[in-house]
Amino acid sequence: MTFQEFLIDSMVFAEGIAALTSIFLYKKTKNTQYQFFSYYLIFIFISEMLSRFGYLPFPKISYYNNFVIPIEFITLYWLYAWKSLDKRNLFFIFTALYLLSFIPNELYFTKNKVIYSFNYTFGSFLLMFLVIMEYYKQINSDNILNFSKNRMFYINLGVTLFYIGTLPFWAFYFPLLEHMEIYEIYRNYFWISGIIMYLLFASSFIWGKQNYS
């Protein structure tokens, strides 16, 4: 097993940990937005298992780019904009903009990778605004000293490391291929940050408290 194969397997394992943790601690989040975040984590893990074991009636590229990844972004837009920031209109606007990004992607961009770099970059760019707004909300909160009890603290940190941290990787995917050493380092970061993100998601269920959500 290569180091990269180990990282890929570890990320799937981390996804499983996050999903199982959300199930075991389901009572802590019942009747809250984090109940649906639990469903999201279960969906991600099942989707990964279906992909890895080959139970797909259509190409993996279409499966991820037209099904799994859009659900990832739209769910996070909902959790951030609608639920945490209480800005429903922003959720609808960002969701519409993200879905509209499929049009230029189909017309102008190469689609021979597992992840469509334009869609992913644009989706992450929108998510970055929500992440910044969430940080601002947390910093100005009366409960800032109890940040470790805030579920969104763990979620926001994980999203920052993975989606925002890898934004340049997908934005400059093809230029990076001309510099393989940098490309390999950044690709490894993609998997490592993904592992950390899902472990942070699991931590949000363990240490987060409802009255600080």
Radius of gyration of the chain (CA): 17
Indicate the residue type of 51.
Answer: S
Both tokens assigned to 115: 């992840």
Q: Work out whether the CA dihedral 56, 198, 118, 180 comes out positive or negative.
A: negative
At residue 57, the pLDDT reads 76
Dihedral of CA atoms 19, 20, 22, 24 in degrees, nearest 10, equals 170
The 10s digit of each residue's pLDDT in 87-129 is 999 999 999 999 999 888 777 665 555 566 778 889 999 999 9
At residue 176, the pLDDT reads 85
Q: Average of pLDDT values for 32-58?
A: 89
At residue 109, the pLDDT reads 64
Rounded Cα distance, 72 and 43, in Å: 10
Neighbouring residues of 141: CB distance < 8 A, sequence distance ≥ 6: 150
Average pLDDT over the chain reads 89
At residue 208, the pLDDT reads 86
Neighbouring residues of 65: CB distance < 8 A, sequence distance ≥ 6: 111, 114, 115, 116, 119
The 10s digit of each residue's pLDDT in 172-202 is 887 888 899 999 999 999 999 999 999 999 9
